[in-house]
């Protein structure tokens, strides 16, 4: 019997195109050097996958709900990188030296962004209290605390892709005041919405939509001058500190998902969701009572919609969520749950307080496996 590594190249390629899971494809390419050289490192035949849960720790630990198993990936060089968001399989991370990176842990690819300190208008609305906090962290030389300070000014990051324009991507940084943008090929950050605090942004039908924490929806010209134009000036719900907004591109609509919170014994708990879709011509929001064959995954830095058909272990028409707190509120507990929009009920899949035993998953995040 011949060696498996001596299989004809065309047969290896044919076999690889019948693999439907990212994890299996990675294992296949790792079998031997001949299989790895014969196959595409960035396959585009793989279907969308159920997001993994990224667990806290010194290495990347990804839990696959479909397989009920974990994968361990070494952390990039350095320490004290903190999570700002996850989009399309890429992690948006901030480091102790004000570094910002986009990291695809599955493809082992990294994109270095200009550092935090080069973001325009970063220190708008910074208070004396913030400055003292920064000075104290620098004097102690505490990298983790320093990163915590930058996360206070830069509280979220998101990578937006335009499916109609291959190769185009834009990194969006959510500041205390406004948004910062970095496009593929840019040398510097750009800025928009200087006096507003934004909750989320999403590329939809070739336009970048951004919504403030008060529910004002704008479009931003990311192909040119970053000019901002308000398209919906009022929120479908009254403003409250107990709600959070997410924009989700869910074919064929742009959805606004509103997450409702309550505080119990000092811990924030998700009590429900409401969903709206943007009307044709950006004329306002219409309530949605059913998600149909869609599933939505939400976390502070993640909002993704997938078709339920073909996805194992998930309920159609549901919203899967993890803790959604600000980076400086991570002591308020955490939760993982599944909310059925049509039935208006929640199943808590895992919930624990920060002082729970080490077996607890601390602040897990959704990340969609992607090899390109």
pLDDT, residue 350, reads 57
Report the C-alpha gap between 331 and 246 in whole angstroms: 22
pLDDT, residue 242, reads 85
pLDDT, residue 328, reads 42
Q: Who contacts 272 (Cβ-Cβ below 8 Å, separation ≥6)? A: 260, 339, 344, 346
What backbone torsions phi and psi does residue 328 show, to the nearest 5 degrees? Answer: -95, 10
pLDDT, residue 52, reads 86
**With contact defined as beta carbons under 8 Å apart, do 178 and 121 qualify?**
yes
pLDDT, one tens digit per residue, over 136-182 is: 655 555 444 455 566 667 889 999 987 667 778 999 999 888 999 99
pTM reported for the whole predicted model: 0.84
pLDDT, one tens digit per residue, over 180-200 is: 999 988 999 999 877 788 999
Starting from the edge strand earliest in sequence, which strands make up the sheet with 60-64, in order?
69-73, 60-64, 52-55, 365-367
pLDDT, residue 180, reads 94
Instruction: For strands 228-232 and 217-220, give the pairing.
Output: antiparallel
Report the C-alpha gap between 57 and 184 in whole angstroms: 30
- 290-300 burial string, b = 16+ CB within 10 Å, else e? ebeebbbbbbb
pLDDT, residue 354, reads 39
pLDDT, residue 134, reads 59
pLDDT, residue 158, reads 93
pLDDT, residue 113, reads 95
Cα distances (angstroms) measured from residue 257 to each of 50, 59, 183, 198, 236: 19, 32, 26, 15, 11
- HSE at residue 51, side-chain half, CA atoms within 13 A, is 29
pLDDT, residue 12, reads 87
**Mean pLDDT by groups of 10 residues along the chain of 372 residues:** 78 88 79 85 76 75 80 66 85 83 86 91 72 58 53 84 78 91 93 86 92 93 89 87 90 93 76 94 91 90 84 85 58 74 83 39 74 68
């Amino acid at each position: 019997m011949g060696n498996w590594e001596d299989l004809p190249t065309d047969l290896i390629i044919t076999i690889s195109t019948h693999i439907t899971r990212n994890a299996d494809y990675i294992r296949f390419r790792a079998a031997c050097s001949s299989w790895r050289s014969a196959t595409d490192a960035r396959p585009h035949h793989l279907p969308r996958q159920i997001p993994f849960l990224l667990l806290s720790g010194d290495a990347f630990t990804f839990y696959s709900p479909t397989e009920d198993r974990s994968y361990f990936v070494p952390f990039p060089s350095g320490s004290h990188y903190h999570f700002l968001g996850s989009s399309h399989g890429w992690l948006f991370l901030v480091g102790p030296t004000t570094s910002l990176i986009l990291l695809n842990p599955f493809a082992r690819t990294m994109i270095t962004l200009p550092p935090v300190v080069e973001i325009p208008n970063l220190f708008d609305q910074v208070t004396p209290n913030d400055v003292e906090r920064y000075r104290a962290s620098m004097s102690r030389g505490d990298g983790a605390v320093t990163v915590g300070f930058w996360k206070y000014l830069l509280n979220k990051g998101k990578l937006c892709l335009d499916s109609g324009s291959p190769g185009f991507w834009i990194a969006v940084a959510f500041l205390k005041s406004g948004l910062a943008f970095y496009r593929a090929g840019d040398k510097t950050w750009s800025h928009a919405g200087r006096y507003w605090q934004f909750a989320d942004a999403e590329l939809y039908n070739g336009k970048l939509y951004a919504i403030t924490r008060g529910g004002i929806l704008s479009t931003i010209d990311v192909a040119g001058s970053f000019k901002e134009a308000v398209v919906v000036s009022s929120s479908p719900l009254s403003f409250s500190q107990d709600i959070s907004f997410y924009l989700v591109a869910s074919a064929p609509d742009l959805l606004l998902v509103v997450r409702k919170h309550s505080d119990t014994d000092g811990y924030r708990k998700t009590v429900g969701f409401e969903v709206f879709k943007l009307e044709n011509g950006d004329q306002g929001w219409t309530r949605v009572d059913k998600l149909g064959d869609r599933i939505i995954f939400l976390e502070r830095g993640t909002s993704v919609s997938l078709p339920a058909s073909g996805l194992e272990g998930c309920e159609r028409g549901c919203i899967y969520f993890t803790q959604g707190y600000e980076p400086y509120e991570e002591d308020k507990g955490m939760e993982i749950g599944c909310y059925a929009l049509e039935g208006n009920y929640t199943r808590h899949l895992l919930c624990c307080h920060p002082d729970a035993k080490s077996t607890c998953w601390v602040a897990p995040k959704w990340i969609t496996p992607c090899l390109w």
